[in-house]
Amino acid sequence: MNEPTNLTRRCWLQGSAVAAGALLVNRAGSAATDPAGRTAPVIDCHAHCHHPGRANYRELDRLLIEAADRLGIDQLCCSTLTPQRPATVEGFRECNRSQVEAIRRFPDRILGYCYVNPGHPREAVDEVRRYVEEHGFIGVKLYNEHVCTEPVVAPVVETAIELGVPILHHAGYAHHPFPGQPNISHGGDLAELSRRYPEAQLICAHVGGGGDWEWTIKALRHAPQVFLDTSGSVTDDGMIEMAARVLGVERLLFGCDMSMTAGVGKIRGARLDPADKTRIMGGNMQRILAKRKSS
């Protein structure tokens, strides 16, 4: 990995223009290539399909895939979320049924996370098991209904471990009150959960989603089993480089969380070795997906 250097706004804009031109490729040429000639698909570890309550949700999902095509993203790991939270049992069940439909409409492009509210432990565990074993979902999506260290979350974590699938957990850290999300987890919470369950595959969501990304990176320093996804609309200079330096590139996962051009551009423009970018853009997520146990 190359050490960060001073970067002016003019240089950043010039580099971004070059990177943007390189990104507009068709899907056939989207796979990243490292210096040794190895290729890996580009996998967005954090995306969302649209809720079926929206009249045009199928069209919005189609536009998502078109954006992925233009940006060279081969696969998107998606969940569907309820419009309001905390989600009811029927609410998250509806989301997962809709997610199956989206996967059928875009086979080989969309991979599914099973979204549940762990506040309904029995139903949440049954839902995760059903969608991983019967529908081939690749992981679990948890949002902000409960802080991840609360005991009520444990059955879902234990089920994900049993099935060999990751948990993508909504997270953020701010220095001011966040009344809209009183139960949001942060990097320190995920580090503590990993200490309790070292075999769990945990993904701390959107380091670039707002809040103190430096604090988040440092909080995960000594939690080697926690991955960090790079998604979010924040494109601060040095964010990706610091994450790679402190955590190691093997713990970083490329994600957009619907901020598509920002998500791709911050990795393409990062001052990292090409082989490291290849790992972040898809190789690391491939390694996680390979751990899913056969039903």
Q: What is the pLDDT of residues 190-219, one digit of tens each?
A: 999 999 999 999 999 999 998 999 999 999
Phi and psi of 110, rounded to 5°? Answer: -110, 130
**CATH superfamily of the domain spanning 9-289:** Metal-dependent hydrolases (3.20.20.140)
| SS3 per residue for 39-58 | EECCEEEEEECCCCCCCCHH
pLDDT level of residue 177 (50, 70, 90 thresholds): confident
Give the three-class secondary structure for 241: helix
Position 133: which residue type? E
**Percent of the chain at pLDDT above 90?**
83
Question: Is the pLDDT at 3 greater than 80, yes or no?
Answer: no
- The residue extents of the domains of the chain are 9-289
- Looking at every residue in the chain, the average pLDDT score rounds to 89
Strand order in the sheet with 226-229: 43-48, 75-79, 110-115, 139-142, 167-169, 202-204, 226-229, 252-253
Cβ count near 31 (within 10 Å): 16
Kindly state the average pLDDT of the residues 61-77. 98
Question: Is the pLDDT at 116 greater than 90, yes or no?
Answer: yes
Alpha-carbon 8 to chain mean position: 29
DSSP summary character for residue 251: G
Q: Do residues 133 and 163 make contact, with C-beta atoms less than 8 angstroms apart?
A: yes
Q: State the Cα–Cα distance between residues 153 and 161, nearest whole angstrom.
A: 13
pLDDT level of residue 31 (50, 70, 90 thresholds): low
pLDDT level of residue 175 (50, 70, 90 thresholds): confident
Burial class (CB in 10 A: 0-12, 13-18, 19+), 280: buried
